[in-house]
């Protein structure tokens, strides 16, 4: 951020120098006068309220001039072995305006002027590194958070993560900044090293905030990708021990049991989830599928070489299918338009086999 400040100063220096014969002291004096004129202009309350954008722009210009004035003030003191002429004065009269840059950034943010918001928040952070404002209490976390949030929206994930790291140091913004950071990391995965680091950071965040659903869902997303089947099952087993009263954890355990074809274990897990929330349509539906799978397994076991099944064995299969039909009908009642799960096809198949 300090580099940005120096680039800004060089840019304004090039615009402000009128000729090679202009001394630093003369330039500082001229800038000081411009600051006084602008300060007089913005002091009226009516002016501030009637045109916020103009007010904020003028405050930004004043602070830019003050930084440049301070730069030339330092140059003059170096050449004349003198004390700084304007710094103390500018610190006293401008210290209250630095936080106005935060107000300006939030104003632009509310009005969806995102580029302006990013620029003014960055300018605030640059100012906090200048000698002119070094004694002030800063709210860098807030500025960094907004930059991170807005640049994430622009899909500039590298910049967003950089400023999220700054916001993480502010307890007031650390929680939300961590979410932005982990999403930036997720969007920037390019190789196995990135994936390992992402998983490590995400796991640490989940341990720190186990009830935060975002980290939980991102971990499931990552572990559901190819090559992580064993890790996902271990994660689910660990979670139910740590958080036995969380319905999502039990639903996950049920899904991993299903993938391992442990149908009875899956049914137990889904029922645990439903004991906490009876409206979990996917859990209801999955129990129905588990009973279907149990019936299919028994059918393969009981069929003879000619594909026939003994009556007593079919009764066992029918028992599982009746359970499947009951649970799929529950899914139908909870989700009649199949917006969450596709219950109709398996239910029709079950009914057909049962002869109903």
d(C-alpha 165, C-alpha 184), whole Å: 11
Tell which wins on pLDDT, 355 or 180. 180
234 part of a folded domain: no
207 part of a folded domain: no
- According to the model, what pLDDT value does residue 217 have? 94
238 part of a folded domain: no
Asked if pLDDT for residue 28 goes beyond 90, the answer is no
The answer to whether 344 and 325 have CB atoms below 8 angstroms apart is no
Q: Per the structure, how many domains does the chain have?
A: 2
Asked if pLDDT for residue 3 goes beyond 70, the answer is no
Phi, psi of 279 (to 5 degrees): -100, 10
Domain enclosing residue 15, as ranges: 1-138
Q: Two tokens at 126?
A: 């640059």
Per-residue pLDDT band at 5 (split at 50, 70, 90) = low
Q: Select from 118, 138, 158 the last residue of a domain.
A: 138
Give pLDDT tens digits for 30-85.
888 888 888 888 876 555 556 788 889 989 999 999 998 888 888 877 655 567 78
- According to the model, what pLDDT value does residue 259 have? 94
Has this prediction a pTM greater than 0.85? no
Q: Select from 116, 138, 160 the last residue of a domain.
A: 138
- According to the model, what pLDDT value does residue 47 have? 55
Tell which wins on pLDDT, 35 or 345. 345
Phi, psi of 235 (to 5 degrees): -60, -45
184 part of a folded domain: no
Q: Select from 109, 138, 167 the last residue of a domain.
A: 138
Asked if pLDDT for residue 165 goes beyond 90, the answer is yes
d(C-alpha 24, C-alpha 118), whole Å: 32
Asked if pLDDT for residue 346 goes beyond 60, the answer is yes
Tell which wins on pLDDT, 117 or 90. 117
User: For all residues of the chain together, what is the average pLDDT?
Assistant: 88
Q: What's the rounded mean pLDDT across residues 143-150?
A: 98
120 part of a folded domain: yes
261 part of a folded domain: no
Instruction: Tell me the CB-side half-sphere exposure of residue 12, using CA atoms within 13 A.
Output: 21
d(C-alpha 34, C-alpha 61), whole Å: 10
Q: Two tokens at 276?
A: 């906490």
**Radius of gyration over every alpha carbon of the chain, rounded to an integer in angstroms:** 33
Of 271, 294, 295, 285, the C-alpha closest to 326 is 285
**Residues 226, 229, 235, 240, Cα dihedral to 10°:** 130
Asked if pLDDT for residue 17 goes beyond 90, the answer is no
> Which residues make Cβ contacts (< 8 Å) with residue 96, sequence separation at least 6?
none
- According to the model, what pLDDT value does residue 11 have? 52
Proportion of the chain above pLDDT 90, given as a percent: 62
216 part of a folded domain: no
Asked if pLDDT for residue 25 goes beyond 90, the answer is no
8 part of a folded domain: yes
Q: What's the rounded mean pLDDT across residues 142-151?
A: 97
Give pLDDT tens digits for 263-318.
999 999 999 999 999 999 999 999 999 999 999 999 888 877 677 888 888 889 99
């Amino acid at each position: 951020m300090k580099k940005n400040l120096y680039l800004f100063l060089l840019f304004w220096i090039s615009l402000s120098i009128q000729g090679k014969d202009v001394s630093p002291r003369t330039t500082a004096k001229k800038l000081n006068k411009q600051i006084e004129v602008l300060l007089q202009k913005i002091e009226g309350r009516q002016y501030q309220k009637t045109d916020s954008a103009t007010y904020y722009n003028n405050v930004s210009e004043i602070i830019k001039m003050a930084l440049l004035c301070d730069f030339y003030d330092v140059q003059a003191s170096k050449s004349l072995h003198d004390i700084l002429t304007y710094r103390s004065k500018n610190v006293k009269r401008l210290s209250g305006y630095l936080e106005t840059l935060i107000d300006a950034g939030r104003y632009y943010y509310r009005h969806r002027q995102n580029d302006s918001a990013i620029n003014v928040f960055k300018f605030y952070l640059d100012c906090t590194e200048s000698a002119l404002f070094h004694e002030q209490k800063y709210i860098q976390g807030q500025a960094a958070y907004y930059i991170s949030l807005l640049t994430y929206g622009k899909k500039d994930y590298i910049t967003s993560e950089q400023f999220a790291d700054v916001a993480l140091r502010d307890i007031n913004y650390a929680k939300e900044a961590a979410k932005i950071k982990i999403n930036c990391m997720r969007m920037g995965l390019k190789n196995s090293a990135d994936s390992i680091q992402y998983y490590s950071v995400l796991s640490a965040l989940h341990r720190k905030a186990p009830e935060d659903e975002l980290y939980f869902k991102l971990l499931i997303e990552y572990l559901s990708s190819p090559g992580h089947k064993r890790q996902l099952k271990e994660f689910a087993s660990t979670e139910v021990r740590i958080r036995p009263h969380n319905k999502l954890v039990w639903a996950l355990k049920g899904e991993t049991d299903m993938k391992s074809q442990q149908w009875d274990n899956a049914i137990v897990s889904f029922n645990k989830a439903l004991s906490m929330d009876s409206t979990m349509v996917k859990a209801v539906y999955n129990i129905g599928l588990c009973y279907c799978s149990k019936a299919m397994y028994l059918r393969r076991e009981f069929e003879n070489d000619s594909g026939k099944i003994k009556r007593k064995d079919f009764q066992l299969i029918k028992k599982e299918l009746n359970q499947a039909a009951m649970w799929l009908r529950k899914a139908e009642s909870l989700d009649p338009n199949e917006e969450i799960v596709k219950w109709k096809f398996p239910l029709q198949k079950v009914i057909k086999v049962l002869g109903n």
